[in-house]
Structure 1
Amino acid sequence: MATGLPVDSIAVEGGKSVVDEVIWVVGDEAILKSDVEAMRKQAEEEGTRWKGDPDCAIPEQLAVQKLYLHQAAIDSIEVTDAEISADVEQYLDYWTNLAGSREKLEEYKKATISQLRNELRDALRDRKTMQKMREQLVKDITVSPAEVRRYFKDLPADSIPFVPTEVEVQILTQMPRIEPEEINRVKDELREYTDRVNKGEASFATLARLYSEDPGTARRGGELDYTGRGMLDPAFAAVAFNLTDPKTVSKIVESEFGYHIIQLIDKRGDKVKVRHILRKPQVSSDAMTKAMERLDSIRTDIVDGKFTFEAGASVISDDKDTRNNYGLMANVMDGARTSKFRMQDLPSEVARAVEKMEIGDVSAPFEMIDGKGKTVCAIVKLKNRVNGHKATITEDFQVMKDVVLNKRREEVLHEWVVDKIKSTYVRINDKYKNCDFEYQGWIR
């Protein structure tokens, strides 16, 4: 079967011709030596370790990726920009922290932030597509309780999974009062930005990059990709979905995150694409002190038995996410909600507070940043703690079931790759034919 692909391709780098060798062909897709080197460099930056010889493992992984992406195209599995934008920004933040600044990052990567963002978007789209494809292939895999018991029955003790310490925490918060003068200051700033856009003195995107306090969108000129109404703050969504003219800047909108102005980019079906600028009123030290004093008084009443923590969390707390559940914090893991947290999964301020507490203790008041990015005052109660231990069927069945389920899924995926290789054209450079590959069938 001919692919029409050359053995070598020519790239231009710094004005010089550089030979970039085709080392594998999978179907009608080529894997270049430069692809391998790029993945090797990325792995080094992320601290990834390869099983076996990287010179063999890296091209094999790239080849497996081609198989998944090809099947995803057949099955019409797609990934939207909205699904990967947060991951792109997380990577940029990680790289920026390593480099020391955005300027140093651009110098090290020899590319602008905009170019890096585009490259990351493409790479992460492929990664997310492969993840969806893998999930599709194993979505119907299940294991029975009997299979779990059989798997662990004769397993050596040192192979039994270790369950880290888990805690259940209740929280009661107070939002410091923001003075009207501070709210007016923020609104005046937003009115000034609107005026500058209307007068043509600056673009909305430029002002968003300079002044917006939403770290997830400011770098993109305030841009939120196509988003459904249900994914947005209700007040924000009500204004965003009513915009009709891309040249118009919205009125000032108050949300749980702060105050916004919004500009329409496009509408597509039941989704909207907008830019926004977020400004957050600052809490004064006097307001913070008063909130801490109020919480200290609430804690005293709880400790003295005047009312329970649960009652206070239900009636007094400003935390809408936990108020209806007696203050019990919820953790989302693998798409499922649970009240159990590993210490590293708690907000850092909460983790520090509960680290040395006994079950039933109520902490002293402390400051923290909530999920909306706002500074609040909080007290917490340690509802339960289960110290780290070797998993047991009676106490940790779900943990042990997940181990067996993941093993079964990996077996199914391995079998799928081996079968896919059999029906796919593969050509490998001779120098890779002595490799000890993870999957059988590459060499024919």
Structure 2
Amino acid sequence: MTAAITLAATAQNNIVEEVAWWIGDQPIYKSEVEEAYQNLLFERQDINGDPYCIIPERLAMERLFLHQAELDSIDIPQAQVTMMVDQQINYLTNNLGSKEKVEEFYRRPLPEIRTLLRELITNRQKVEQVQNSLTQDFKSTPSDVRKYFQTLPEDSIPFVPMQVEVQIMTLNPVIPREEIDEVKARLRDFTDRVNKGESEFSTLAILYSEDPGSGMRGGEIGFMSKANLDPEYAAVAFNLNDPKRVSKIVESQYGFHIIQLIEKRGDRINTRHILLKPKVAEKDLTEAMNRLDTIRQEMLAEKYTFEEAVYYVSQDKDTRNNKGVMVNEENQSNRFEMAQLPQEVSRVVSTMSVGEISKPFIMSDAKHNREVVAMIKLSNRIDGHRANLSDDYQRILAMYEESAKEKIVDDWLLKKIKDTYVRIEDGWRNCEFKHEGWIKTAKQ
């Protein structure tokens, strides 16, 4: 690639694009740096330092990884990339409010944004594969972890906040048949109005859908594969063929839906829906509370244990067969910091003693978007402390492995920087870079 070709004039103002760095024969343009900076601001990522120093170095490192990916013939499956592009478009639409807002943010039409995201995601996946290949043979031993911990400066040993281990049982209050029939009648009315041309599906979704994420966008959920959708929803949605018609009523774990096809694209589909959720009556919540309170009294009388009651009573599928033990999805352990617990559980746990069984309380089941009645047992409390090997081995192991793998990658980068032609233009050199060797001396 020649300088004459790469220093092309921009389409809007015919001003020659400014080159900030050269990596081999590849330029890093000022516009690339500024666009990357805008993306970081949108994603609310902290930039600890001068972005016009940090971002070009990151782009230069990416160029080195991509060159290695080319040498290693790394290929990213395009179906995987397409799925990730769709997820990113959906994320952007959710956060900005509409596809038009996404186009306004990127200052380009949606097809061009898809092309841009496809390139960015493909490159990111290639970089990750190169880094994984560099560290794939790394192995750690308990001795390595112990030596690493012993050499950590005291101010680098993390403080572990108080953690708790919690067991839970839940009851789903009975929803009266009359309430379900009322919800279905409303959805049938919406369907008739759309099919007769009296109302637009998207308008009804904005006005009535109880899915806050998609409702504001006229019910549109974006391109999804079957694996990304509720099974009951997917089974109906993927059988739709006429964008002008409305599906039958679909019951899922979230409530009742009607669905309209927008577009099919290979194994992915874009639909809009209207979600209505039957409401739990106050008397049904009270009845469930009373039932759990009776069970609590019998446990306190030692007629059976919390663990035995969970197996026969609890309707929480995730914990029922695990003695009610809650699992922290962030680290797959049984321990939670208070902020990681559901808000209602955290509030109850804060006043409990270890081994105590709470009174029943109402909580929101975020996964299924409904109210349930719950009761918990506080199994253990670990007070806040400086990390140590006996209590926090997994945390320290993760720290050691991250540090060791980062060093492997850094050592590789230092060698690549030394062996690669690098030129940093005037105005971009006065920086404290993370890695040495970017600015070549005369001897180099």
The verdict on a shared fold, with TM-score over 0.5 as the criterion, is yes
Q: What corresponds to 2:223 in structure 1?
A: 225
Distance (Å, rounded) in 1 between the aligned partners of 2:176 and 2:108: 39
Partner amino acid for 1:339?
Answer: N
Partner amino acid for 2:266?
Answer: R
| Corresponding residue to 1:292 among 277, 280, 289 | 289
Distance (Å, rounded) in 1 between the aligned partners of 2:28 and 2:274: 43
Distance (Å, rounded) in 2 between the aligned partners of 1:199 and 1:137: 57
Distance (Å, rounded) in 2 between the aligned partners of 1:46 and 1:242: 36
Partner amino acid for 2:226?
Answer: G
252-261 vs 136-145, greater mean Cα deviation: 136-145
Alignment of 1:241-280 (within 5 A): 241-243=238-240, 248-264=245-261, 265-266=263-264, 268=266, 274-280=271-277
Distance (Å, rounded) in 1 between the aligned partners of 2:259 and 2:107: 24
Q: Does 1:130 align with 2:124?
A: yes
Q: What corresponds to 1:342 in structure 2?
A: 337
Alignment of 1:55-66 (within 5 A): 55-66=52-63
Distance (Å, rounded) in 1 between the aligned partners of 2:379 and 2:126: 37
Indicate conservation of the 8 Å contact 1:9/1:21, yes or no. no
Other structure's SS at 1:176 match = coil
Distance (Å, rounded) in 1 between the aligned partners of 2:44 and 2:171: 41
Q: What corresponds to 2:76 in structure 1?
A: 77
Distance 1:384 1:291, change over 3 A: same
Distance (Å, rounded) in 2 between the aligned partners of 1:439 and 1:172: 52
Compute the displacement of 1:115 (Å).
Answer: 6.7
| Corresponding residue to 1:438 among 417, 434, 437 | 434
Indicate conservation of the 8 Å contact 2:170/2:374, yes or no. yes
Other structure's SS at 1:380 match = strand
User: Percent same amino acid at aligned positions?
Assistant: 42
Structure 2: state its 5+ residue gaps. Answer: none
Distance 1:35 1:129, change over 3 A: closer
Other structure's SS at 1:333 match = coil
Q: What corresponds to 1:99 in structure 2?
A: none
Distance (Å, rounded) in 1 between the aligned partners of 2:345 and 2:111: 33
Distance (Å, rounded) in 2 between the aligned partners of 1:84 and 1:381: 43
Distance (Å, rounded) in 1 between the aligned partners of 2:314 and 2:400: 41
Partner amino acid for 1:391?
Answer: A
Number of equivalences:
429
Other structure's SS at 2:357 match = coil
Q: Does 1:32 align with 2:29?
A: yes
Distance (Å, rounded) in 1 between the aligned partners of 2:399 and 2:249: 50
Distance (Å, rounded) in 2 between the aligned partners of 1:19 and 1:35: 14
Other structure's SS at 1:331 match = coil
Compute the displacement of 1:142 (Å).
Answer: 2.5
Compute the displacement of 1:258 (Å).
Answer: 0.8
Q: What corresponds to 2:2 in structure 1?
A: 2
Partner amino acid for 2:264?
Answer: D
Distance (Å, rounded) in 1 between the aligned partners of 2:57 and 2:310: 54
Q: Deviations over 1:239-267 (max 9, x none)?
A: 34444555553321211111122345426
Compute the displacement of 1:144 (Å).
Answer: 1.7
| Corresponding residue to 1:401 among 397, 415, 419 | 397
Q: Does 1:384 align with 2:383?
A: no
Distance (Å, rounded) in 1 between the aligned partners of 2:145 and 2:333: 22
Partner amino acid for 2:342?
Answer: P
Compute the displacement of 1:72 (Å).
Answer: 5.8
RMSD of aligned C-alpha atoms?
3.8
Q: What corresponds to 2:280 in structure 1?
A: 283
Q: Does 1:374 align with 2:370?
A: yes
Q: Does 1:327 align with 2:320?
A: no
170-179 vs 186-195, greater mean Cα deviation: 186-195
Distance (Å, rounded) in 1 between the aligned partners of 2:306 and 2:425: 68
Distance 1:290 1:236, change over 3 A: same
